[in-house]
Amino acid sequence: MDPAALAVRYRAVRACSLALAAPLSAEDAMVQSMPDASPAKWHLAHTTWFFERFVLARHPDYRAVEPRWDALFNSYYQSVGPMHARPRRGLLSRPSLDEVRDYRETVDARIARRFEAGDFDEAAMQVLLLGTHHEQQHQELLLTDIKHALWCNPLTPAYRTDLPCLQAVATPLRWTTHAESIVEVGADAWPLAQAFAYDNESPRHRMLVAAHALAQRPVSNAEFRAFIDDGGYRDPALWLSDGWDRVQADGWSRPLYWDDDGEREFTLGGWRAIDPHAPVCHLGYYEADAFARWAGARLPTEFEWERAAAGQRLDGNLLDAGVLHPRAAAGGDAQWFGDVWEWTASAYAAYPGFRPLPGSLGEYNGKFMCGSFVLRGGSCATPRDHLRASYRNFFAPSARWQFSGLRLARDAA
């Protein structure tokens, strides 16, 4: 690995997190609106802790910036030590946001000194690279978490008032058919020899994929509105049992951020008229599955998705575009990457031959392989250089606060 290129990437990723937090006041940055979401301040601190704990502390003489913070910013690494309870992250009025910014600066300076000294061996650089991707995951979470927090505030303030509002006309739904075939999916196992991938994408392996057809764009708001108007949220025959229980218990009747009338939706830019052409967003797996059933289709498997997306240009309405909301693609772009994460029918499980990373970092992905479904493709809040076709995002089927939508699939006749 080229240390100079890694140092450049490290600095760019760290600067991006600060830029994403810049529109937030100290009060905004402390809010935790639900147990699944974390305060922006915690994201800024935890991503820093990751570098301190897993890179700097590899050195036996390392002294922590503030040892008392170790448990505060440990997310879920049981083998590292105790941790502050996730639902109580919003209680951390100390350290202050300024102190967390200072913490970031201190750790960045220590990392920079180690780079300059040529101190990082290949193994340390691989963990550093992992840390930058970890931080990019948290950048997306910072945005989805603050969106939820601001929506929970009765004043529903915008995260930013200067976001562009891009609109285009969605292309008519087209289907592309794929013959039955054995396809290669996934990425090479660690240690990294090629481009970065998480351990949960490996090993690369072969899969038999039956003949099927895939929609050439995600489902639009107008199409989802037809499901609502047809009584989709009131017909138990369309829903998985667990999903129907959630519809009843939580009173679901529309995507998470739509208003009562289905006219406006809350965005990071504040309330806006719902664009009928844009991909529908903020659906859980249960809603995506019910919609697909109503439409006479199904969700794609993650392998059908990967086969179609592999080799496609990795571009689209991603974080780098600065739009921060899904939009219809002009010119019939299939939108494999960006706009919305696409729920797949695939349970998040280990690939055959999966080996978690050695040591504490083995807790990063593998222990969550139960009770979640895989999402593919990336969203308007995902950094472009964080993605690849084999990327496996995963969330519980009831999770709705991510930029999550769907693309339809069906069995070939």
Size of the site for Fe ion (CB under 5 A): 1
Residue among 47 and 126 whose Cβ is closer to Fe ion: 47
Residue among 72 and 314 whose Cβ is closer to Fe ion: 72
- Of 75-83, 188-196, 312-320, 385-393, which segment contacts Fe ion by CB under 5 A? 75-83
Q: Measured from the CB of residue 51, what is the shortest distance to Fe ion in angstroms?
A: 11
365 contributes a contact to Fe ion by CB under 5 A: no
Residue among 43 and 400 whose Cβ is closer to Fe ion: 43
Q: Residues 167-186 vs Fe ion: string with x where CB under 5 A?
A: --------------------
Residue among 303 and 401 whose Cβ is closer to Fe ion: 401
Q: Do you find a cis peptide bond into 60, omega within 30 degrees of 0? A: no
Buried b (16+ CB within 10 A) or exposed e, 23-38: ebeeebbbbbbeebbb
Scan residues 186-215 and list those touching Fe ion (CB under 5 A): none
Residue among 130 and 345 whose Cβ is closer to Fe ion: 130
On whether the CB atoms of residues 292 and 178 are closer than 8 A, the answer is no
Residue among 134 and 327 whose Cβ is closer to Fe ion: 134
Scan residues 231-260 and list those touching Fe ion (CB under 5 A): none
75 contributes a contact to Fe ion by CB under 5 A: yes
Q: Measured from the CB of residue 8, what is the shortest distance to Fe ion in angstroms?
A: 23
Distance in angstroms (rounded) separating the CA atoms of residues 255 and 259 = 9
Q: Measured from the CB of residue 88, what is the shortest distance to Fe ion in angstroms?
A: 17
On whether the CB atoms of residues 254 and 233 are closer than 8 A, the answer is yes
- Of 70-78, 148-156, 203-211, 332-340, which segment contacts Fe ion by CB under 5 A? 70-78
Dihedral angle of Cα 387, 388, 390, 392, to the nearest 10 degrees: 10
* Tokens 């054995």 belong to residue: 182
Residue among 75 and 317 whose Cβ is closer to Fe ion: 75
- Of 19-27, 72-80, 279-287, 404-412, which segment contacts Fe ion by CB under 5 A? 72-80
Q: Measured from the CB of residue 138, what is the shortest distance to Fe ion in angstroms?
A: 6
By beta-carbon distance, which residue lies closest to Fe ion?
A: 75
- Of 73-81, 140-148, 173-181, 238-246, which segment contacts Fe ion by CB under 5 A? 73-81
382 contributes a contact to Fe ion by CB under 5 A: no
Q: Residues 24-63 vs Fe ion: string with x where CB under 5 A?
A: ----------------------------------------
- Of 21-29, 67-75, 150-158, 396-404, which segment contacts Fe ion by CB under 5 A? 67-75
Residue among 136 and 335 whose Cβ is closer to Fe ion: 136
On whether the CB atoms of residues 64 and 114 are closer than 8 A, the answer is no
Q: Measured from the CB of residue 134, what is the shortest distance to Fe ion in angstroms?
A: 6
Distance in angstroms (rounded) separating the CA atoms of residues 350 and 346 = 11
Q: Measured from the CB of residue 357, what is the shortest distance to Fe ion in angstroms?
A: 14
Residue among 75 and 139 whose Cβ is closer to Fe ion: 75
Residue among 75 and 200 whose Cβ is closer to Fe ion: 75
Q: Measured from the CB of residue 46, what is the shortest distance to Fe ion in angstroms?
A: 6
Residue among 49 and 291 whose Cβ is closer to Fe ion: 49
- Of 55-63, 71-79, 311-319, 374-382, which segment contacts Fe ion by CB under 5 A? 71-79
Binding site for Fe ion (CB under 5 A): 75
